[in-house]
Chains A and B, each alone.
Chain A
Amino acid sequence: MIDFHTHPVLIREFVAKYPGYERAAREVFNIGNNFQPLETFLLQMDVAGIERAVLLPIACERARKDAVSSNEQVAELCTMTKRFIGFASVDPLENGAARELENAVRDLRLKGLKLDPALQEFRPNASNVFPIYETAAALKIPVLLHTGMSWAPQTALEIGKPLLLEEPIRQFPKLNFVLAHFGWPWVWEATALALKYPNVFLDMSCLYYDSPKEFYQSVFSKRIPTTVIERSLRDKLVFGSNYPRVEITNMVHALKSLPLTEGCLQKILKENAERLLGLTDAIQ
């Protein structure tokens, strides 16, 4: 199983090593949990039955002073275990963003691009952002964008609307877009985009009220009928936990509590992610 959405923001070993790491976790990302040794992250994956996890940095220095994990930190973690798959993040409005992304993919061996328009403070449909989509398409990597509500302070809710991405999605049909958090609360907007466009995928790392199981029942049964997932979105969804905002095992249990077939679960928990990431190598 693959967790497509985790943030390495509470790694104890990085606190003393990287200035700004602690501030970014507390004040930018806004998480109050204790820093934990890397071993805890891996044990959380073990308990949940997760083999590999995508690590997502956020290059938000221009807007927030510190990055919420850097490309270098993610790459460093990926050298420690093959269980991590690192994404890169760049600021699309900074000069040299395209070159930085190319270097991150070529030199740091990062496998995708993470953007968070609300936290990075840019509009995802602005024309000056398009060059980074173009670069990602040329590199043949997926781009995962935060959509929907963000818990990070000072972030604009409106920038998370999934439909803001329609123009880039149309302009770059060969670039795979992963809309994070299912676009909640705009879950039908996200669903419509995934139904309509072959290059749109959704990650299920959404939890905004109640418990994971209750939230999943609410969103993936009452708002979006489970049959839509089973019949129409089974090839377009990837599992994500949003760890450490939630323990991974709780989200796995929530997903498995839905009345989905084993075949559909297998696609969401593994096969769709493997396809997006072009994974062929076995875990050592």
Chain B
Amino acid sequence: MIIKLERITLQTRKHNEAIDITAKVDNVVRTSGVKNGLVNILTTHTSSGLLVTEGIPCLEEDILTHLSRLFPEDVDYHHRRYLDYDGRLGFNAEAHLKSVVGGISCTFPVENGEVVRGSRQAVYFMEYDGPLERTYLVQVLGD
């Protein structure tokens, strides 16, 4: 059994942003040596997300827009208070809630050394609190 874990960093450039990472994931799988198994993709941040949808700009925009409608900035959140472990106030509750609802990971089968997914499916890193340098994990398991 092969288990390969890669930590990939990316620099986000906007406050809210959907970044297609499908090609990066495919590349990790191809170079992992795993022919048959699974690939898990996971963000390491609680104010970002990982999701799968059709890879077209209109949907990217719709997802970001409607997550923002679900969790607007100008409503009452308990998270708006001083966080002594951070030395600053927390006031990004909406980013955390988008992450919870949109999800933080996804899994695909690997067959013959390739990711198996639908023809319309793309993998997105979702920034809800940028711009920041971020890290996501790609772990490939199998034979």
- Could you tell me which A residues sit within 8 Å of B by CB distance? 12, 29-34, 36-37, 39-40, 43-44, 46-47, 151, 207-214, 244-246, 249-250
Instruction: Given contacts A33-B88, A245-B88, list 5 more A-B pairs with CB under 8 A.
Output: A29-B87, A32-B85, A33-B86, A208-B82, A210-B91
Which A residues are in CB contact (< 8 Å) with B88?
31-33, 151, 244-246
In the assembled complex, the CB of B89 is this many whole angstroms from the nearest CB of chain A, namely: 6
Interface residues on B, range: 20 to 34
Which of B10-18, B50-58, B112-120 lies at the interface with chain A? B10-18
Cross-interface CB contact of B15 among A31, A47, A213, cutoff 8 Å? A47
Complex Cα distance A79/B13, Å? 23
Residue B3, interface by CB 8 Å: no
Complex Cα distance A44/B130, Å? 8
Complex Cα distance A30/B83, Å? 11
The contact sample of 14 A-B pairs, CB cut-off 8 A, is: A29-B87, A31-B86, A31-B88, A32-B83, A34-B132, A43-B11, A43-B13, A44-B131, A47-B14, A209-B81, A209-B89, A210-B91, A213-B74, A214-B80
SS class, residues of chain B in contact with chain A: loop
Which A residues are in CB contact (< 8 Å) with B87?
29-32, 151, 245
Residue B133, interface by CB 8 Å: yes
Residue of B nearest to A215 (CB): B89
In the assembled complex, the CB of B51 is this many whole angstroms from the nearest CB of chain A, namely: 22
In the assembled complex, the CB of B50 is this many whole angstroms from the nearest CB of chain A, namely: 18
Residue of B nearest to A152 (CB): B87
- Could you tell me which B residues sit within 8 Å of A by CB distance? 11, 13-15, 73-74, 77, 80-83, 85-89, 91, 130-133
Which B residues are in CB contact (< 8 Å) with A213?
74
In the assembled complex, the CB of B32 is this many whole angstroms from the nearest CB of chain A, namely: 27
A209 and B82 contact, Cβ closer than 8 Å, known pairs A31-B88, A44-B131? yes
Once the chains bind, are A40 and B89 in contact (CB under 8 Å)? Answer: no
Complex Cα distance A55/B81, Å? 26
Which B residues are in CB contact (< 8 Å) with A245?
87-89
Once the chains bind, are B14 and A211 in contact (CB under 8 Å)? Answer: no
Residue of B nearest to A242 (CB): B88
Which A residues are in CB contact (< 8 Å) with B91?
210-212, 246, 250
